[in-house]
Amino acid sequence: MEQIIEWISQPWPWYVAGPLIGLTVPVLLLVGNKSFGISSSLRHVCAMCVPANIPFFTYNWKKEMWNIVFVIGVLLGGFVATSFFSNPDTIVVAESTQRDLAALGITDYSRLLPVEIFSFDNLFTAKGLLFFVIGGFMVGFGTRYAGGCTSGHAIMGISSLQWPSLVATIFFMLGGFMMTHVLLEQLMKLVGF
Confidence of residue 181 (pLDDT cuts 50, 70, 90): confident
pLDDT at residue 105 above 80? yes
Count: domains in the chain = 2
Predicted local distance difference test score (pLDDT) of residue 173: 92
Last residue of a domain, one of 59, 89, 119: 89
Note whether 83 and 132 are same-domain residues.
no
Predicted local distance difference test score (pLDDT) of residue 167: 92
pLDDT at residue 139 above 90? no
Confidence of residue 82 (pLDDT cuts 50, 70, 90): confident
Q: Is the dihedral of CA 7, 12, 18, 19 positive or negative?
A: negative
Closest CA to 66 of 49, 47, 41: 41
pLDDT at residue 108 above 80? yes
Note whether 121 and 50 are same-domain residues.
no
pLDDT at residue 107 above 80? yes
Count CA atoms within 13 Å of residue 163 on its CB side.
0
Note whether 189 and 112 are same-domain residues.
yes
Last residue of a domain, one of 44, 67, 89: 89
Residue 131 to residue 137: CA distance in whole angstroms = 10
Length of the chain: 193
Confidence of residue 180 (pLDDT cuts 50, 70, 90): confident
Give me the domain span that covers residue 191.
91-193
Please give the model's pTM, rounded to 2 decimal places.
Answer: 0.71
Note whether 106 and 73 are same-domain residues.
no
Predicted local distance difference test score (pLDDT) of residue 21: 82
Last residue of a domain, one of 89, 119, 142: 89
